[in-house]
């Protein structure tokens, strides 16, 4: 397998200004004729034209209408080289392939009743010979022909130009997209689909027809996506001054899809799990996910489509920025603190682990074998953190000036992360050359902070040192430019729930500041500090770093009670939970959980001054994965057991309040899907789950009652989860069966049912998993189902996956090898937990053996890259 390097980037030899496709679909065989208007790249004249193609049978090649003969071209592996000296002209090719047999879900494939495409990153080459790279931007027109009964709906990018009937029960449609775009944004759909419509008028008065295409059975699950899209369109106009630019915005829901959704110009293709929603079948998290993903894909219309990436190393240019934009949107539509907590949970428990593992890579990687392996939390989430830091360093107005400049300067171009940062520099006259190390250096920086209070001088000094462990790409790291949003809390020991921050300048209201760390070690002195303060550091998680400050328990409780930054109150509670788990690890028999922490939580519940969803998060002990990173010397099963103990203590200590919440809080409210109602349900269901963990006798009755009477999926699933934790075998088994019978016709609900069971911690976990893969509703060819069972088991079922016999690892390895034969992208993702072997000491050896067993097989490029790097 060949490694591609960023340093080797060269412009293409030729441009393709126009692309005319004629796609003729018949069962088992699709023909594609392509006419490409070729223009030599003047700076690189006289080089042969080399196109890429994969799995294509080539029938015909012509230049300006003349068929090419044997010596004029050569097809070797995946490349087609044209030897003729080419000036401007038209290249014609005709190829065929079989979408029905395409199980990789890249290129053109069949999913249930429809044909659809997935071209990002390099799927277009499975459709026709092309310069399949993002810096080649072309205007596309597409003619689709298919059987009218099998495929009454024929869609592609842009605007519909013409449609008509043909002989033999066939029909056609012609589409034209006026915006030039790279091939990865091409899309085509043909199938038997129903359509739900909506409309939106842009600020400048352009009417946009919204069309959501789904299988007819799902027509009642489109409204939320349409509403979300309209909100996203209006928000982007308000926040970034960006309008939609075509007459139609189409979304198609597909059941077999490797990722969440795809932003093809004017024709988004969505995984059903990210677009379909209604109150009967969808949880609150599901609703919020649909809103976020619909918005994300919509925002790509500018950050990705109008301004695209020069090469795939720049992937975070569009993904990091778009994730930042969708996070801003979700924060505005719901609760900013809740959104931040959710995002930071993902970063701390999953992205940090990626950054610490053998596949760590920079946000702008320096090399890859298979680009599909780089659609990672690092490129997406850490990339979004980089944009967030820039936005905060600039402030609202300068950031808007920067993005205006970025979109207007680079519209219609394929650009780089450097161009993005240059736009930021333009707007604030700052030098971000050091800041750009966030793009090139992998790994999570560790910031160690110490303090000194001088009571005589009334000064307080904070000293910072930063470091970053070596990662495969970068051995020695240079200091990062790290913004530290912070404040100083006074009045230590006070039980008042009143924030009381020190002024950080002469202005008494100025209690919050942003320090900018740029050196390996740096100190900051604050004057007029009249008592020893508690520092509130990295407010709102102002940089994606690990912070080490030796907080006393009392200081953390102070932050939990009094910090004016709600995010840091939650973070302090998490830190107190970490301390409790570590105590349980150290002394399993006689450990102590801070009664002050429990008391503070109790007061917070009583006072209800914090929004319910945030309280719910405060009551949740951090994930095993995060705890493991914080205590790497301990065995993961010991960490799991210690965590369980802390959860139980927490639940017992708050039992009365939790019981009141679980049975009565907001219980009779009408079901609504707004942020406040969602937050109240989250608190109620968190309370129920804690009671179940604590084994409180009334929990069973409460859970069963809620399971039977729930009028929405959130409450019903939460009750089922509680019943599983309580594990009264007959009742739990009956409820699981009842749930399946009730929802067996709803594929997405059945996936939730699979996931719940895959996560059940028990000695029989693997047997149960094996049985579930034999269930008639399970399909190996459907990534949602595979993820629902296999990824949930290997990422969430700690005792099952890490069982002493190593059977969990072996099972995953077998599954990965099997899936790789049909869907390499999926296999390369499923294998991730095994790649983390180095964290698991003894167990790690068995994990590594299984990884080596995988590596010994003939593998796809995708899986080869991952296993090879993980075994190094």
Catalytic residues: 297
| Contact yes or no for 544/382 (Cβ under 8 A) | yes
Which listed residue (118, 373, 441, 631) binds ligand HT7 by CB under 6 A?
Answer: 118
Stretch that binds ligand HT7, among 118-126, 138-146, 340-348, 394-402 (CB under 6 A): 118-126
What pairing do the DSSP bridges indicate for beta strands 267-271 and 248-254? parallel
Question: For Zn ion, which is the closer residue by CB, 323 or 642?
Answer: 323
Per CB under 6 A, does 263 bind ligand HT7?
yes
What is the rounded distance in angstroms from the CA atom of residue 181 to the CA atom of residue 119? 12
Question: For Zn ion, which is the closer residue by CB, 322 or 337?
Answer: 322
Question: For ligand HT7, which is the closer residue by CB, 300 or 721?
Answer: 300
Q: Which does 799 bind (CB under 5 to 8 A by kind): Zn ion, ligand HT7, none?
A: none
Which listed residue (16, 242, 259, 389) binds ligand HT7 by CB under 6 A?
Answer: 259
Q: Which does 94 bind (CB under 5 to 8 A by kind): Zn ion, ligand HT7, none?
A: none
Indicate the angle between helix axes 713-726 and 284-299, nearest 10 degrees.
Answer: 120
Question: For ligand HT7, which is the closer residue by CB, 262 or 735?
Answer: 262
Stretch that binds ligand HT7, among 254-262, 444-452, 736-744, 788-796 (CB under 6 A): 254-262
Stretch that binds ligand HT7, among 138-146, 187-195, 258-266, 685-693 (CB under 6 A): 258-266
What's the residue count for the chain? 872
Question: For ligand HT7, which is the closer residue by CB, 262 or 576?
Answer: 262
How near is the Cβ of 121 to ligand HT7 at its closest, in Å?
Answer: 5
How near is the Cβ of 61 to Zn ion at its closest, in Å?
Answer: 35
Q: What is the 3-state secondary structure (H, E, C) of 231-298?
A: HHHHHHHHHHCCCCCCCEEEEEEECCCCCCEECCCCEEEEEHHHCCCCCCCCCHHHHHHHHHHHHHHH
- DSSP code string of 44-69: GTTPPEEEE-SSPEEEEEEETTEEP-
Q: Which does 121 bind (CB under 5 to 8 A by kind): Zn ion, ligand HT7, none?
A: ligand HT7
Task: Provide the token pair at 639.
Answer: 């960490």
Per CB under 6 A, does 823 bind ligand HT7?
no
Question: For ligand HT7, which is the closer residue by CB, 300 or 802?
Answer: 300
Residue ranges in 300-329 that form contacts with Zn ion under rule CB under 5 A: 319, 322
Residue ranges in 310-369 that form contacts with ligand HT7 under rule CB under 6 A: 319
Per CB under 6 A, does 256 bind ligand HT7?
no
What is the rounded distance in angstroms from the CA atom of residue 711 to the CA atom of residue 333? 24
Q: Where are the alpha helices (DSSP H) in 463-539?
A: none
Stretch that binds ligand HT7, among 91-99, 226-234, 293-301, 525-533 (CB under 6 A): 293-301
Buried b (16+ CB within 10 A) or exposed e, 56-66: beeeebebeee
| Contact yes or no for 189/115 (Cβ under 8 A) | yes
Q: What is the 3-state secondary structure (H, E, C) of 833-870?
A: HHHCHHHHHHHHHHHHHHHHHHHCCCCCHHHHHHHHHH
Buried b (16+ CB within 10 A) or exposed e, 428-451: beeebeebbbbbbbbbbbebebeb
Task: Provide the token pair at 849.
Answer: 């053996």
3-state DSSP call for residue 348?
A: helix
CA 343, distance to chain mean position in Å, is 10
Measuring CA to CA, how many Å separate 178 from each of 137, 141, 164, 772?
A: 12, 9, 22, 48
Question: For Zn ion, which is the closer residue by CB, 268 or 337?
Answer: 268
| Contact yes or no for 533/460 (Cβ under 8 A) | yes
3-state DSSP call for residue 752?
A: helix
Residue ranges in 495-514 that form contacts with Zn ion under rule CB under 5 A: none
Question: For Zn ion, which is the closer residue by CB, 319 or 385?
Answer: 319
Which listed residue (32, 34, 49, 121) binds ligand HT7 by CB under 6 A?
Answer: 121
Indicate the angle between helix axes 655-664 and 698-709, nearest 10 degrees.
Answer: 20
Per CB under 6 A, does 385 bind ligand HT7?
no
Per CB under 6 A, does 132 bind ligand HT7?
no
Question: For ligand HT7, which is the closer residue by CB, 122 or 471?
Answer: 122
Which listed residue (143, 174, 296, 348) binds ligand HT7 by CB under 6 A?
Answer: 296
CA 178, distance to chain mean position in Å, is 30
Q: Which does 477 bind (CB under 5 to 8 A by kind): Zn ion, ligand HT7, none?
A: none
Question: For Zn ion, which is the closer residue by CB, 254 or 614?
Answer: 254
Per CB under 6 A, does 225 bind ligand HT7?
no
How near is the Cβ of 253 to Zn ion at its closest, in Å?
Answer: 17
How near is the Cβ of 305 to ligand HT7 at its closest, in Å?
Answer: 10
How near is the Cβ of 257 to ligand HT7 at its closest, in Å?
Answer: 7
Q: How many CA atoms lie within 13 A of 785 on its CB side?
A: 18
Q: Residue 483 pairs with which residues in a beta bridge?
A: 516
| Contact yes or no for 145/25 (Cβ under 8 A) | yes
Q: Residue 449 pairs with which residues in a beta bridge?
A: 464, 549
Total number of residues that touch ligand HT7 (CB under 6 A): 15
How near is the Cβ of 442 to ligand HT7 at its closest, in Å?
Answer: 20
Stretch that binds ligand HT7, among 113-121, 621-629, 674-682, 748-756 (CB under 6 A): 113-121
How near is the Cβ of 319 to Zn ion at its closest, in Å?
Answer: 5
Q: Which does 211 bind (CB under 5 to 8 A by kind): ligand HT7, Zn ion, none?
A: none
3-state DSSP call for residue 193?
A: coil
Residue ranges in 699-718 that form contacts with ligand HT7 under rule CB under 6 A: none
What is the rounded distance in angstroms from the CA atom of residue 350 to the CA atom of residue 327? 17
Q: Which does 258 bind (CB under 5 to 8 A by kind): Zn ion, ligand HT7, none?
A: ligand HT7
Stretch that binds ligand HT7, among 24-32, 257-265, 583-591, 792-800 (CB under 6 A): 257-265
Which listed residue (9, 90, 176, 375) binds ligand HT7 by CB under 6 A?
Answer: 375
Cα–Cα–Cα angle for 242, 243, 244, rounded to 5 degrees:
130
Interacting residues toward Zn ion by CB under 5 A:
319, 322
Interacting residues toward ligand HT7 by CB under 6 A:
118, 120-121, 258-259, 261-263, 296-297, 300, 319, 372, 375, 825
């Amino acid at each position: 397998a060949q490694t591609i390097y960023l340093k080797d980037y060269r412009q293409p030899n030729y441009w393709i200004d126009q692309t005319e496709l004629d796609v003729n679909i018949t069962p088992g065989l699709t023909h594609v004729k392509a006419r490409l208007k070729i223009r030599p790249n003047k700076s690189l004249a006289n080089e042969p034209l080399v196109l890429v193609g994969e799995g294509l049978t080539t029938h015909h090649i012509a230049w300006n209408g003349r068929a090419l003969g044997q010596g004029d071209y050569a097809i070797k592996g995946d490349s087609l080289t044209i030897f003729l000296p080419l000036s401007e002209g038209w290249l014609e090719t005709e190829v065929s392939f079989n979408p029905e047999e395409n199980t990789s879900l890249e290129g053109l494939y069949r999913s249930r009743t429809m044909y659809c495409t997935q071209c990002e990153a390099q799927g277009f080459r499975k459709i026709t010979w092309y310069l399949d790279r993002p810096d080649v931007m072309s205007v596309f027109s597409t003619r689709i022909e298919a059987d009218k009964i099998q495929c009454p709906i024929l869609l592609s990018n842009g605007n519909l130009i013409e449609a008509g009937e043909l002989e033999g029960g066939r029909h056609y449609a012609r589409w034209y997209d006026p915006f030039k775009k790279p091939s990865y944004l091409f899309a085509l759909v043909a199938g038997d689909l129903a359509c739900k419509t909506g409309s939106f008028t842009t600020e400048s008065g352009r009417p946009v027809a919204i069309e959501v295409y789904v299988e007819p059975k799902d027509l009642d699950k489109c409204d939320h996506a349409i509403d979300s899209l309209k909100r996203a369109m209006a928000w982007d106009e308000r926040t970034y001054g960006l309008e939609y630019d075509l007459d139609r915005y189409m979304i198609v829901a597909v059941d077999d899809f490797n990722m969440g959704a795809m932003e093809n110009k004017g024709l988004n293709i969505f995984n059903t799990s990210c677009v379909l929603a209604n109150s009967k079948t969808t949880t609150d998290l599901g609703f919020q996910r649909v809103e976020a993903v619909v918005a994300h894909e919509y925002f790509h219309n500018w950050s990705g489509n109008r301004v695209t990436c020069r090469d795939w190393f720049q992937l975070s240019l569009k993904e990091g920025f778009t994730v930042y934009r969708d996070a801003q949107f979700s924060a505005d539509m719901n609760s900013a603190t809740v959104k931040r907590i959710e995002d930071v949970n993902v970063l701390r428990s999953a992205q940090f682990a990626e950054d610490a593992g053998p596949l760590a890579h920079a946000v702008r990687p320096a090399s890859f074998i298979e680009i599909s392996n780089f659609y990672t939390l690092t490129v997406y989430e850490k990339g979004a953190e980089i944009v967030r830091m820039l936005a905060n360093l600039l402030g609202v107005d300068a950031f808007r000036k920067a993005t205006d400049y970025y979109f207007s300067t680079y519209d219609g171009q394929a650009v780089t992360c450097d161009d993005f940062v240059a736009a930021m520099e333009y707007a604030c006259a700052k030098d971000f050359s050091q800041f750009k190390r966030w793009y090139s250096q992998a790994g999570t920086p560790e910031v160690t902070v110490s303090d000194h209070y001088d009571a005589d001088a009334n000064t307080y000094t904070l000293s910072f040192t930063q470091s970053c462990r070596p990662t495969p790409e970068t051995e020695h790291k240079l200091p990062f430019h790290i913004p530290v949003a912070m404040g100083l809390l006074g009045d230590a020991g006070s039980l008042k729930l009143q924030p009381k921050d020190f002024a950080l300048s002469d202005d008494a209201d100025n209690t919050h500041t942003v320090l900018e760390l740029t050196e390996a070690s740096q100190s900051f002195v604050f004057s007029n500090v009249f008592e020893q303060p508690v520092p509130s550091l990295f407010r709102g998680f102002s940089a994606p770093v690990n912070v080490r400050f030796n907080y006393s328990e009392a200081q953390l409780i102070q932050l939990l009670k009094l910090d004016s930054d709600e995010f840091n109150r939650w973070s302090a509670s998490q830190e107190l939970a970490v301390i409790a788990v570590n105590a349980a690890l150290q002394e399993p028999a006689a450990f102590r959980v801070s009664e002050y922490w429990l008391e503070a939580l109790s007061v917070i519940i009583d006072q209800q001054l914090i929004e319910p969803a945030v309280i719910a998060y405060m009551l949740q002990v951090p994930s095993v994965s995060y705890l493991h990173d914080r205590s790497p010397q301990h065995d993961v099963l010991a960490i799991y057991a210690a965590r369980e103990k802390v959860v139980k203590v927490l639940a017992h200590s708050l039992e009365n309040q939790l019981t009141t919440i679980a049975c009565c809080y907001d219980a009779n409210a009408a079901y609504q899907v707004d942020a406040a109602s969602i937050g109240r349900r989250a608190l109620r269901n968190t309370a129920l789950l804690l009671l179940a963990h604590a084994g409180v006798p009334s929990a069973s009755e409460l859970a069963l009652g809620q399971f039977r009477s729930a009028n929405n999926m959130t409450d019903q699933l939460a009750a089922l989860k509680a019943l599983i934790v309580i594990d009264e075998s007959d009742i739990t088994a009956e409820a699981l069966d009842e749930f399946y019978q009730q929802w067996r016709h709803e594929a997405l609900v059945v996936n939730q049912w699979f996931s719940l069971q895959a996560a059940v911690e028990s000695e029989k976990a693997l047997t149960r998993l094996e049985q579930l893969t034999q269930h008639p509703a399970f399909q190996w060819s459907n990534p949602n189902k595979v993820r629902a069972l296999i990824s949930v088991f290997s990422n969430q079922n700690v005792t099952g996956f890490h069982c002493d016999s190593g059977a969990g690892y072996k099972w995953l390895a077998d599954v990965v090898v099997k899936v790789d034969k049909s869907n390499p992208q999926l296999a390369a993702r499923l294998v991730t937990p095994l790649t983390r072997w180095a964290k698991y000491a003894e167990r790690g050896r068995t994990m590594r053996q299984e990884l080596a067993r995988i590596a010994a097989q003939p593998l796809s490029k995708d899986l080869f890259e991952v296993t090879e790097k993980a075994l190094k």
